[in-house]
Amino acid sequence: MARFNDLEKKLLGELLDQAIDDLSNNGCNDLPIDVTDENVDQVRRLIRATTGDDEDWAKDLLDDAKPGNKVYLTDFTVLQLFRDRILGE
């Protein structure tokens, strides 16, 4: 995993925040993910991590997260999760 100095982390955070803002203002925020036998557990974890307190939405997505299906997550919430993990926030 890459290591960033303080300035690089700050700039990366700013760039990711800008991208998150741009995506959240886009007309369509769907991020399609194909569910396979190999990634079904990872997709389910990603759903739980990105749906927040919206239990109905999470339940609908989790019900659809079966191999052979496609689920649609919100692109900017996925990027926000990655931002927080990369920057340790």
Q: What is the pLDDT of residues 18-65, one digit of tens each?
A: 999 999 998 788 999 999 999 999 999 999 999 988 888 899 999 999
Residue 1 lies in a domain: no
In a domain, 19, yes or no: yes
Global pTM reads: 0.85
Q: Is residue 69 part of a domain?
A: yes
- Boundaries of domain holding 16: 6-87
How far is residue 32's CA from residue 69's CA, in Å, rounded to a whole number?
Answer: 10
* Residue 82 counted as domain residue: yes
Residue 59 included in any domain: yes
Note whether residue 40 is domain-resident. yes
Q: Which of 18, 78, 76, 7 is nearest to 45 (CA)?
A: 78
Burial bucket for residue 76 (CB in 10 Å: 0-12, 13-18, 19+): buried
Domain count of the fold of the chain: 1
